[in-house]
Structure 1
Amino acid sequence: MKKYISYLMTALIAAVSFSCDFNDSPSLEEGQARVNFYLVDAPGDFDEVWVEVLALRVKAGEIDLADEEDGDDESAWEEIPYENGSQMINLLDLTGNNSQLLGDANLEAGSIQQLRLILGENNYVVKDGEEFPLKTPSAQQSGLKIKLYEEIEAGNSYDLVIDFDVAKSIVVAGNSGNVILKPVLRAYMQETAGIMGQVLPLEAQPISVSTTVDGEVVTTFTDTDGNFKIQGLEPGTYSLLITPEEGYVPVTIDGVVVEEGEITQVDAVTLEEQQ
């Protein structure tokens, strides 16, 4: 059996669709499923972050979960060239609910266990109007790896989100001053739960919004309208830390309850100016 999967790329967070209606997807055949892949990003302290996206590689099917090695079996991988627009993408344009389709493919039913985002060499960041090359370690030439385990069933439609945390992924080397990409990525089905809201005033942008997931801090930023969304959360109770630019007072929101498959809308927050 195979599954049909579409890949999307965003830079903050995206949404997932799930459908069992073959009439809505005339290209599907029995034993196939549709999956949309999104890349989402939490921006860092840069004006622009440009990456050259070449392709996405996917490892899926009936895979032995006990095998922790990547393996050299190329037949287990499906490569989807990125052909839906300019290969140069500013990740900071993908905040809020913005997204960019990467492509689509038929995948073996079973599970998705690993993704590799293939970048070209024309990557750079812009800070205060100055452009700096973004160096990619040689070990990443085979692609930026994201390990996961998501089951996909024939006849269904899914969206899968790749969360590219720019704030954690880009570092400046102390002595050389080189800007280096050390990718921090996670992936999840967009049908998972999350938190969304708005932070004002707009003059305080950009504002980081973070929470802790399995001991790891997950961070996103508000868009130009002050909106934010954090997805890929398990049901539970979370605290949000809202950290604005200098001149405004940080805020913590405790007791945010997230239910399975639901996006919790928190009340808009208006930050106070520092005295």
Structure 2
Amino acid sequence: MKNLWKIFGLAALVLFYSCDGIESGNGKASFYLTDGPLEADNVSEVVISISKVEVSGPEGWNMVKEFETPEAINLLELQGGETFFLDETELASGQYNQVRLGLSTSQESQDPAHYLKFNDGSIEEITVPSGTQSGYKVVGGFTIPDGGVTSVIIDFDVRKSVVKAGNSGKYILKPTLRLIEDAEVGSVSGTISGGIDANLVVYAYESNQYNENETEPNEDGVVFANAVTSAIVDVEDNYNLSFLPSGTYDLVVVSFDAEGSFVEVKTQKNDVELDAGVKLDFDIDLTL
């Protein structure tokens, strides 16, 4: 009888915990922040300060991480597939549909909590509009499997998220964020050849979504606003479009001046197919 109770007890433990110590009915999720590039090359830092991360799922809103001191993050360091680890936590398994980033309202140093730093050393504060200081909700779906682990990427996309307010010259935080489940994305990278300009950017559009109107600024002054993501062509003429959902894309290569003003579209390559988990090599010759 004692042995029988031992067997029952062991079975209960196996049901209650998975092999890596995750409670039954739960899973783990890791959260990361990434970013796309700015077209202008006269900005050296774009810093935001995050105070907390929350998620909305089967049990409502749950705290993922509350920082003792707001975490100041230079978004320009998170390009080309680079990420900033926010936290890993155990949560109820199931479907999640929102992440909320809490933004700092305090100033821990001589610099503002959120700011741009230019190459000449000058700093411009990024204003967080009233009513949104409690946080920004990032809408998108991801699943935490029972007893499993998932990785979630938050793409800040600074070129769309920091805008200049009319004639005031002030910079305002207006996040345009993507929520990405890492298992469902791939990347496209390669080398650009033939007539390289100093400042080239590659934009990825969902198939047939690019047109010449994209070269015109939208109401926030953003050009190529409907691109899924973008990548700067580096000094070795390479580019890397990261965290793209599986699908078919059109790649548009564009040149800019040092201040980030549009110069011209150099070429467009259509019908680039990408599957989840694939790192696709795709070189682009500007003369073809």
TM-score range, shorter chain: 0.7 to 0.9
Instruction: Assess if the C-alpha contact under 8 Å between 1:221 and 1:228 holds in 2.
Output: yes
Q: Give the structure-2-normalised TM-score.
A: 0.71
Tell me the C-alpha RMSD between the 2 structures: 2.8
Instruction: Assess if the C-alpha contact under 8 Å between 2:202 and 2:239 holds in 1.
Output: no
Is 1:61 the counterpart of 2:58 in the alignment?
yes
Q: Quote the Cα distance in structure 1 between the aligned partners of 2:208 and 2:264.
A: 29
Instruction: Assess if the C-alpha contact under 8 Å between 2:22 and 2:90 holds in 1.
Output: no
Is 1:77 the counterpart of 2:62 in the alignment?
yes
Q: Quote the Cα distance in structure 2 between the aligned partners of 1:33 and 1:119.
A: 27
Please list every run of 5 or more consecutive structure 2 residues that lacks an aligned counterpart in the other structure. Answer: 1-17, 106-112, 210-225, 258-262
Q: Give the structure-1-normalised TM-score.
A: 0.74
Specify which structure has the bigger relative contact order, considering alpha-carbon pairs within 8 angstroms and separated by 6 or more residues. 1
Cα pair distance change 1:183/1:194, threshold 3 Å: same
Q: Quote the Cα distance in structure 1 between the aligned partners of 2:282 and 2:231.
A: 17
Cα pair distance change 1:103/1:116, threshold 3 Å: same
SS at the partner of 2:282?
Answer: coil
In the alignment, what sits opposite 2:242? Answer: 230
In the alignment, what sits opposite 1:253? Answer: 269
Please list every run of 5 or more consecutive structure 1 residues that lacks an aligned counterpart in the other structure. Answer: 1-21, 64-75
Instruction: Assess if the C-alpha contact under 8 Å between 1:62 and 1:111 holds in 2.
Output: no
The one-letter amino acid of 1:160's match is V
Instruction: Assess if the C-alpha contact under 8 Å between 2:26 and 2:147 holds in 1.
Output: yes
Cα pair distance change 1:269/1:232, threshold 3 Å: closer
Q: How does 1:208-219 map to 2 (within 5 A)?
A: 208-212=202-206, 216-219=226-229
The one-letter amino acid of 1:233's match is P
SS at the partner of 1:139?
Answer: coil
Cα pair distance change 1:135/1:206, threshold 3 Å: farther
Q: How does 1:1-275 map to 2 (within 5 A)?
A: 26-44=20-38, 45=40, 46-61=43-58, 76-82=61-67, 87-121=71-105, 122-129=113-120, 130-200=122-192, 204-205=198-199, 207-212=201-206, 216-222=226-232, 224=234, 226-235=238-247, 237-246=248-257, 250-259=266-275, 261-269=276-284, 271=286
SS at the partner of 1:52?
Answer: strand
Task: Point out the structure with max Rg over C-alpha.
Answer: 2
Structure 1 runs of 4+ aligned residues shifted over 4 Å read: 246-249
Shift of 1:245: 3.1
State, as a whole percentage, how many aligned pairs show the same letter.
Answer: 27
Aligned length: 234
Instruction: Assess if the C-alpha contact under 8 Å between 1:189 and 1:232 holds in 2.
Output: no
